Amino acid sequence: MDDEVPLRAVVIGSGVGGAAAALLLSHAGIPTLLAEKERRLGGSAAAVERDGFRVDTGTHMLCRGEDGPLGDVLRRVGQVDAIAFRESAEPAALCFAGAARGGRAGAERGGRVALPADLRRLAASALDLARALELTPLEAARAARLLAHATAMRDVDLAACDDVTAEAYAARFLPRPAAAARLGGLLGLPLLLPGSEASAGEALLASRQLARSGRQSYPEGGAARVPDVFCRLARELGAAVRTGTAVRRVLVRDRRVRGVELEDGTTLSAGIVVSTAGLASTVAELVGEPHFPEAYVARVRALTPQPRQAQVKIGLRRRLAAAGALAGLGGGAGAPALPFYCVAPTRFDPSLAPPGHELLCACAVSGASGGASPGAPAATVDELLRALAGAVPGLLSEAVFVDGSPGDERGPGAELAAGTAQTPGQVGRARPAVYTPVRGLYLAGRAAGGRGAGMELAASSAMECVDRILVDLGRDLGAPAPPALIDIAGDLLGRVAASTVSWVARPRG
Ligand SMILES: Cc1cc2nc3c(=O)[nH]c(=O)nc-3n(C[C@H](O)[C@H](O)[C@H](O)COP(=O)(O)OP(=O)(O)OC[C@H]3O[C@@H](n4cnc5c(N)ncnc54)[C@H](O)[C@@H]3O)c2cc1C
């Protein structure tokens, strides 16, 4: 660290990525300020109160709970019990519009396939799944082989699939294009991408994680509990966590981070800035392209951002979903298949709604070009609602509220930083790195680094980012924070806070 730049970190954004980074940096003894421009914490994993329901702003389906990266963050700070991950008593189900009816016991209610409660037996559902996907018996056997492969693949085999799409991978087993498109569509769902755009390596990794974990889980108290708890623990370790505090610019000189300028004009010197504000906006708006090598700027400009998704939240006066999560293909006869998924958080934690009520959070998958197939228009809230109504009979007549957030307007999720879509050429070794050509500037969250899906991707990226920072500082990754460093850094922060940066000491939002 240069003499004139203090050992202090500013983290931009309080989504899962920023909250995890702030917690890990504080735990490493680095004085940290987390600045969140919104009035509430959590980014795309925030929540709002509505008619007695606690409603997620995103649509969160997690598979590994405390065994995955969210638990790893807590383990690293010795707080593994700070969040309870609950499982649903009911298995998940796959739903298909216009799918073959009947079939074995699993296929029911017009194309609804109940998955085994223990998802490690996922491949055993292949026959029901194949019927619902309208596969021939030979195709069904091949689809079963694909699912078995996905469960058993080694990392190196998965990485070899990074640069093909999920649909192209499915076509290796299912040469008939319609069959490959439907199976590819399901594989791409965890990445919120259509099968024609999702990286097969990343999609298969998500399927493998789901199958190996053997369950789905959801945080007690709602998905927003994850960034809330990370921020609370970071504060307990001395971090300042400020909402309503937008970073206007990252200050850079001689290709070295010097600090940040806030929206109100205050400046704060810091040697480390972790941005979760999206790669393109960090480079173009917060830092400025002239501070980066041309090749880096060209690469960032060429990246495909994560497309916006239509979302809907439904409060029901009765419990109708009969599953912890639904996923499937809507769209109906003649229309293009619409990949969608729907989580029923109240199946995991009934306290998220008034007694006997149910909350559904659903999301339709569109690609960079709009719809789920190349050139198709973006999925609309109406189409998503039609797919849901087909999967959950009686849905609309029992609704207390139906809140749609179109993907092409600035809804709760749309205001957030764009992630880097997990498409071929943007995952694995080709994923943007957590470090940048500007010394002291790092990226975390869904923009760079990490593997997996959603909140788990953001958490794994944050761990990768903080590991990199510690290595750059010459610190031993395994070692606890040296007390002397904490003292020195705390003292430094205290002195600077008292003199020049009064906002650090303002009441925390
Ligand atoms: C429709 C939808 C469906 C999803 N489904 C799932 C799912 O099924 N499973 C799952 O695990 N995850 C899911 N997620 C994704 C998951 O919520 C996100 O990937 C993850 O939480 C991203 O975290 P992040 O920290 O990278 O970014 P974000 O949550 O976007 O946080 C970035 C934060 O930075 C703040 N910020 C930006 N610029 C500035 C600035 N200049 N100054 C200060 N603050 C700034 C923003 O306000 C925001 O709070 C979904 C999200 C959406 C929207």
pLDDT for position 83: 97
Q: How confident is the model at residue 51 (pLDDT cuts 50, 70, 90)?
A: very high
395 alpha carbon – ligand 1 mean position (Å):
28
Would you mind telling me the total number of residues written for the chain in this entry?
Answer: 509
Six token digits for residue 323: 């599953």
Residue 420 per-residue DSSP state: B
Min mean pLDDT across 25-29, 252-256, 302-306 is at 302-306
Ligand 1: residue of 38, 60, 63, 205 to mutate (most ligand atoms within 8 A of CB) is 60
Q: How confident is the model at residue 404 (pLDDT cuts 50, 70, 90)?
A: confident
Evaluate if residue 488 carries a pLDDT over 70. no
Q: What mean pLDDT comes out for the span 190-213?
A: 87
57 alpha carbon – ligand 1 mean position (Å):
10
DSSP 92-135: PEEEETTPPP--STTEETTTEEEPPSSGGGGGGGHHHHHHHTT-
Atom of ligand 1 nearest to the CA of 46: 29
278 alpha carbon – ligand 1 mean position (Å):
9
Min mean pLDDT across 65-79, 154-168, 355-369 is at 355-369
Six token digits for residue 421: 């879509």
Q: What mean pLDDT comes out for the span 232-244?
A: 98
Chain mean position to CA 349: 20
Q: CA quadruple 173, 174, 179, 185: dihedral positive or negative?
A: positive
Q: How confident is the model at residue 417 (pLDDT cuts 50, 70, 90)?
A: low
pLDDT for position 77: 97
How many other C-beta atoms are found inside a 10 Å radius of the C-beta of residue 423?
Answer: 24
Ligand 1 binding pocket, CB closer than 6 Å: 12-18, 35-38, 43-45, 58-62, 192, 246-247, 276-277, 309, 311, 363, 413, 416-417, 445-446, 453-456, 458
pLDDT for position 387: 87
Ligand 1: residue of 348, 403, 416 to mutate (most ligand atoms within 8 A of CB) is 416
Q: For atom 38 of ligand 1, which residue has the closest CA?
A: 277
Atom of ligand 1 nearest to the CA of 309: 1
Evaluate if residue 308 carries a pLDDT over 70. yes
Evaluate if residue 411 carries a pLDDT over 90. no
pLDDT for position 378: 67
> What is d(CA 82, CA 237) in angstroms, rounded to the nearest whole number?
14
- Output the furthest CA–CA distance in the chain (Å, rounded): 74
Evaluate if residue 348 carries a pLDDT over 50. yes
384 alpha carbon – ligand 1 mean position (Å):
21
Q: How confident is the model at residue 59 (pLDDT cuts 50, 70, 90)?
A: confident
| 9-48: pLDDT as tens digits | 999 999 999 999 999 999 999 999 999 999 999 999 999 9
111 alpha carbon – ligand 1 mean position (Å):
33
pLDDT for position 154: 86
Residue 480 per-residue DSSP state: P
Which of residues 413 and 392 earns the better pLDDT score? 392
454 alpha carbon – ligand 1 mean position (Å):
8
pLDDT for position 334: 64
Q: Are 7 and 489 spatial neighbours (Cβ–Cβ below 8 Å)?
A: yes
Atom of ligand 1 nearest to the CA of 416: 30
> What is d(CA 411, CA 312) in angstroms, rounded to the nearest whole number?
11
Per the DSSP assignment, residues forming a β-bridge with 47 are 56
- pLDDT more than 70, % of the chain: 82
Per the DSSP assignment, residues forming a β-bridge with 191 are none
Q: Are 475 and 28 spatial neighbours (Cβ–Cβ below 8 Å)?
A: yes
pLDDT for position 413: 40
pLDDT for position 412: 42
Which of residues 187 and 494 earns the better pLDDT score? 187
Helix (H) or strand (E) holding 260: strand 256-262
pLDDT for position 407: 54
Which of residues 452 and 162 earns the better pLDDT score? 162
What radius of gyration, in Å, describes the C-alpha atoms of the chain? 23
Q: Is 299 exposed, middle or buried (0-12, 13-18, 19+ CB in 10 A)?
A: middle
Evaluate if residue 219 carries a pLDDT over 90. yes
Q: How confident is the model at residue 56 (pLDDT cuts 50, 70, 90)?
A: very high
* CATH no., domain 48-63+75-88+306-411: 3.30.519
Q: Please give the CATH topology (third level) of the domain spanning 9-44+225-303+418-505.
A: FAD/NAD(P)-binding domain (3.50.50)
Q: Which pairing describes strands 53-56 and 47-50: parallel, antiparallel, or unpaired?
A: antiparallel
Q: For atom 45 of ligand 1, which residue has the closest CA?
A: 13
Min mean pLDDT across 141-155, 267-281, 308-322, 428-442 is at 141-155
How many other C-beta atoms are found inside a 10 Å radius of the C-beta of residue 137?
Answer: 10
> What is d(CA 156, CA 201) in angstroms, rounded to the nearest whole number?
10
Whether pTM exceeds 0.85:
yes
Q: What mean pLDDT comes out for the span 118-141?
A: 73
Evaluate if residue 153 carries a pLDDT over 90. no
pLDDT for position 294: 97
419 alpha carbon – ligand 1 mean position (Å):
8
Nearest to 256 by CA among 287, 230, 223: 287
Which of residues 508 and 114 earns the better pLDDT score? 114
Q: Helix, strand, coil shares of the chain as percentages rounded to 5?
A: 40, 20, 40
Atom of ligand 1 nearest to the CA of 455: 11
307 alpha carbon – ligand 1 mean position (Å):
13
Which of residues 309 and 107 earns the better pLDDT score? 309
259 alpha carbon – ligand 1 mean position (Å):
23
414 alpha carbon – ligand 1 mean position (Å):
9
Q: For atom 9 of ligand 1, which residue has the closest CA?
A: 60
pLDDT for position 460: 96
